[in-house]
Chains A and B, each alone.
Chain A
Amino acid sequence: MKDPSEIRQKLKQAQYRHVKRILRGRFPQGADWPRGEVDEIKDEYRAFFQEAPLHEIARDFPDVAALMWVLEDQPDQALVVNGTLVGSMGGVMLWADSGDEADTAREMIDQIIGDLVPRDSQLATDHPQKSWWRRLFG
């Protein structure tokens, strides 16, 4: 696994390669390139790579965007962005958009399960019933 410094190096190489290709497309090979214009183009793309949002960079330079994306500080990602895990039923993960909605969903499911299970069978157990999601995740 490459560490971030190696990827940063690859990113620099990819940016350099693209700028070189752009310069070669604008100026004839074998001739002296105008230093001022060349520096201006280099500065323009340096600023673009530093300031443009990722999706704009991806439009023309998807490999550069890919390297920048993996270098972004990515906290341990949740499976669903901004999602809260409600629970799992039959192997299917259930998600809600917020913690409150997840609580509401759990209460609803507890209520449905409570309605389905005969009250006598609940009373017959020695241990107090845990909610279904606590049994799975608690």
Chain B
Amino acid sequence: MNPNLLTVVEHPYKRRPMMLDGVPVPRDSGPFLITSTKATMWVERAFGEGFLRLAVRQQSVGELFRDLVTEVAAEGGRQDWGNVYPPTTDGVLEGLKHLHYYDLPDATLLYGSDFDIGAVPDMARAPADWLPPSWGVLVPDRAYVGTVYLLGDNFLGAVVHNPSRGIVVLRGGGGSDPNLNG
């Protein structure tokens, strides 16, 4: 089972670029969460018919996924997207309802090492060691969620699309701050 948050694409570059320019995205699937040179940033709209410019930076894929999920949860709370729930049976069921509302069946549950998997209905699932231990994420087909471009030596660029519809965060304790996890 696929434990990745996003579609993973290896970039066969000739010379490692400092940024990825002209990355195609579904035009109406914003806001987009993209890699910046130091962290991540929100972009409301794509350029032109549907392109974005992503910064390339050095970070492990796991750390990136963790940062993205933490940021989607924070923004979901701020914007009332209704995509953040507690990591409980009710939380999972509400999260699945959220995805079904947007016609996104076939969700997969990605879960951290301390997530109580026994409380979850029978569904596709995969352990994701990059998540904060008590957190989970419900995601549909990763094509809907976004892409991470890998450029070797942990250099990468990424874009998340449809975060309000396509990523449900089952938020437990902790987050990006490793001191708060456990």
Q: Measuring CB to CB, which residues of chain A are less than 8 angstroms from any residue of chain B?
A: 1-4, 7, 10, 14, 53-71, 74-77, 79, 81
> By CB atoms of chain B within 10 A, which of A57, A61, A69, A76 has the most?
A69
CB distance from A52 to the nearest CB of B (A): 11
Q: Please, which residues of chain B bring their CB within 8 A of the CB of A59?
A: 26-28, 50
Q: Please, which residues of chain A bring their CB within 8 A of the CB of B161?
A: 62
CB distance from B7 to the nearest CB of A (A): 5
* Contact indicator B10/A2 (Cβ below 8 Å): yes
* Contact indicator B12/A53 (Cβ below 8 Å): no
Q: State the CA gap A14–B141 with chains docked (Å).
A: 12
Q: Please, which residues of chain B bring their CB within 8 A of the CB of A60?
A: 26
Other-chain contact of B17, A53, A63, A77 (Cβ < 8 Å): A77
* Contact indicator A1/B152 (Cβ below 8 Å): yes
Other-chain contact of B24, A57, A77, A79 (Cβ < 8 Å): A57
- What count of chain B residues pass the 8 Å CB interface test? 32
Q: State the CA gap A65–B27 with chains docked (Å).
A: 12
Q: State the CA gap A66–B24 with chains docked (Å).
A: 7
* Contact indicator B50/A58 (Cβ below 8 Å): yes
In the complex, what residue of chain A is closest to B28 when comparing beta carbons?
A59
User: Among residues 17 to 68 in chain B, which have CB atoms less than 8 Å away from a CB atom of chain A?
Assistant: 17-19, 21-29, 48-51
Q: List 15 A-B contacts (CB under 8 A).
A: A2-B12, A7-B10, A55-B51, A57-B24, A59-B26, A59-B28, A62-B144, A66-B23, A66-B147, A68-B24, A69-B22, A70-B10, A70-B149, A77-B21, A81-B22
B9 is an interface residue with CB less than 8 A from chain A: yes
Q: State the CA gap A59–B142 with chains docked (Å).
A: 14
Q: Please, which residues of chain B bring their CB within 8 A of the CB of A75?
A: 14
B143 is an interface residue with CB less than 8 A from chain A: yes
* Contact indicator B48/A70 (Cβ below 8 Å): no
User: Among residues 50 to 102 in chain B, which have CB atoms less than 8 Å away from a CB atom of chain A?
Assistant: 50-51
Q: Please, which residues of chain B bring their CB within 8 A of the CB of A2?
A: 10, 12
Q: State the CA gap A54–B47 with chains docked (Å).
A: 13
Q: Please, which residues of chain B bring their CB within 8 A of the CB of A7?
A: 9-10, 12
In the complex, what residue of chain A is closest to B15 when comparing beta carbons?
A76
CB distance from A122 to the nearest CB of B (A): 36
> By CB atoms of chain B within 10 A, which of A55, A65, A67 has the most?
A55
In the complex, what residue of chain A is closest to B19 when comparing beta carbons?
A79
